[in-house]
Structure 1
Amino acid sequence: MTAIATNVAPIFILILLGWILVRTGLLGAGVGEALGEFVFKVAVPVLLFQTISEADFHGASPFRLWIAYFSGVAVTWTLGHVIATRLFGRDARVGVLAGVSSAFANNVFIGLPLVGRIVGEEGIVPLSILLAVHLPLMMVVGTILMENAERGVSGGSGRGIGLIMKQVATNLLKNPLIAGLGAGILVHVTGLPLGEVGTSIVHQIAAIAAPAALISLGMALHKYGVRGNLGIASATSLLKLILMPAVVWTASLLLGLSPSWTAAMVLTSSVPTGINAWLIANRFGVGHGLAASTITLTTAVGVVSVTFWAWLVL
């Protein structure tokens, strides 16, 4: 357990470092935003490109992997919605936000560094396969459910599914992560050589993706904090950190995923809630406090739960 904790701790220490840099005023919040932009638009897409272009998939099918992970998403999201609406008596919009906060893992900024450090390249490959569908599917489902909830609460007509899908598709086509994955697939399939110089540049940029992502995340956390809703936020945090990885682990074992793929899926499902929950809350103007509190709470205690899951699956 001590060895596992030693590997997990640096992940969260780098997040804490980023938070301290902004909190103490040593660096401004604008620096963190710029670093986050670089990570999202350059460093992580290059890392995904490198991983996919150089990966050896051994003819593995992604469908069992997707089923294992999204079974955890479905169970956790549903229970988060039920707890918010039935137990705490909140409306359907907050229910959707509770589901998103319970099930939307920070796979890019924390999942990639964590899996890379704990599992290695054998874990980055299945995580990259997951990322190819994770963001599109989660955003489509989250947006459609929130639109339906908004229509039910306000009584308006709302947007049709066609318009929602068009908007999400447009946003995804502009998403650097999708571009990195697509370019990696193209090079992998065609065998297009990058040359010694190109390969060296790709590897150097990919190498800084993990630490830069963690520090930038810590620098962004100052604007969230805990904003009330502690009852629901505590429930969604427990669902995110405990129930979701438990369901993913069980499904991975039942579906016969390899040990490295199982470890990758369990670890990335165990990481704190991603900022996408905040983005959806901001888009619809509801549940800001719940999203912010869940992000903060899961990040604050995530080092303990992630260490536990890493110990369990390795």
Structure 2
Amino acid sequence: MTALFDVILPVFLVVGFGYLVCWRKWLSEVAVDGVMRFAQNFALPVLLFGAIAGLDLGANYKPLLLLAFYSGALLSFALGTALSLYWLRRPAEDAIAIGFVCLFSNSLLLGVPITERAYGPEAVLGNFTIISIHSPLLYTFGITAMEFVRARGQNLSLGGVALRALSGVLHTPLVIGILCGFAVNLSMQAGLVLPQGFWAAVKMMSNAALPAALFGLGGVLYRYRPEGEARAIALCCGASLLLHPAVTFGLGKLFALNLAEMRSAVLTAAMPPGVNAYIFAALYGVAKRVSASAVLVATALSVLTVWFWLAVLP
């Protein structure tokens, strides 16, 4: 019960406050979009930049940690896509979008603050290791899969499809922040010294990132009220909240991950789909209602599933 009130509740209260503000019309949709644009395009990239720039790449990049997390993610995508095709009888483009909802955990906006509140600031090093390749890898994977499906009947090579996907990913602010963080990290190892005033500014922006993003997330979720599609929504919730963390936990035990790595991997896997899953569907104009509703429902249900995993992970 302590974990529910001390760790989970504060994070979701900020999300709920954003939801309440939009429900009561105390803030316009345009204003909420501005908050989210600030968070996603500026503050969160700076947060990722600072985190990646300060990572000990040799000590924190554990292949088995990444394999445990991303095996669960890709299995969730495969299951979501296959069941959408053969059980729900959805078109291939819809199936890829639904699979992407199952694939893309809200690793940054929810995973980082919950892990930090549960286990302390040092516990999120594993989270940032996962996040450092999360958007680049999964966006490239999802866009390539969708472009490949959409390219059927066209004279587009696999290389051309992959190049189009990579170009789109490299223009994403979060990915730009991650790549800049790697560049500075490697430069500092080569002798680059940046002034303390620079890092103070990075810290100030980083401190604003998660509160603004969580508040804005609540406002955005208000727009995505569930409307039908119960089986598809249940599929997304089951894959993202149950299958992904269970597979990650099992593989973590098999790979003998240490406790800190298990916490980061499993809690990140246990996060609900992020709003980016809806943005991906909206980008292609397919399965938007399923994606939006699944993000909202899974975010609400994750209060219980995250509580469970906090009890499992000492």
Same fold (TM > 0.5): yes
> Are 1:181 and 2:169 matched, yes or no?
no
Letter matched to residue 182 of structure 1: L
**Is the Cα contact below 8 Å between 2:17 and 2:218 reproduced in 1?**
yes
Cα distance between partner residues in 2 of 1:216 and 1:265: 25
Deviations 1:185-230 (A, max 9, x none): 3333333333232222222221121111100111111222212211
Q: Which moved more, 1:105-114 or 1:171-180?
A: 171-180
Report the more deviating stretch, 252-261 or 193-202: 193-202
Match of 1:252? 252
Structure 2 unaligned runs (5+)? Answer: none
Query: C-alpha deviations, 1:213-258, integer Å up to 9, x for none?
Result: 1001111112222122111211221221111111111112222222
CA distance in structure 2 between the aligned counterparts of 1:225 and 1:137, rounded to whole angstroms: 29
TM-score between both structures, scaled by the size of structure 2 = 0.90
In structure 1, the partner of 2:8 is 8
Closer, same or farther: CA 84–5 of 1 in aligned 2, 3 Å: farther
CA shift in 2, pair 1:99/1:45, >3 Å = same
Distance 1:84 1:173, change over 3 A: closer
| Off by >4 Å, runs of 4+ in structure 1 | none
Paired residues, number:
311
Aligned position for 1:309: 309
Distance in 1 of aligned mates of 2:156 and 2:101: 23
Deviation per residue, 1:41-98 (Å, 9 max, x gap): 2211222222223334563443212211111012211221232222223232232222
Q: For residue 180 of structure 1, what is the amino acid of its counterpart?
A: G
* Contact kept? 1:110, 1:213, Cα under 8 Å: no
> Equivalent of 2:163, from 158, 162, 166?
166
Note closer, same or farther for the CA distance 1:53–1:30 as it changes in structure 2 (3 Å cut): same
CA distance in 2, matches of 1:97, 1:184: 29
Gaps of 5+ in 1: none
Structure 1 vs Structure 2 CA RMSD: 2.1
TM-score of the superposition, structure 1-length normalised?
0.90
1:30 matches 2:30: yes
User: Quick one: structure 1 residues 266 and 27, their matched pair in 2 at CA, closer, same or farther if it must change by over 3 Å?
Assistant: same
CA contact 1:147–1:158 (8 Å) conserved in 2: no
**AA paired with 1:70?**
Y
Aligned to 1:65: 65
User: Residue 300 of structure 1 corresponds to which residue in structure 2?
Assistant: 300
- Kindly, what percent of the aligned residue pairs are identical? 27
Mapped to 2, the partners of 1:59 and 1:216 lie a distance apart of 34
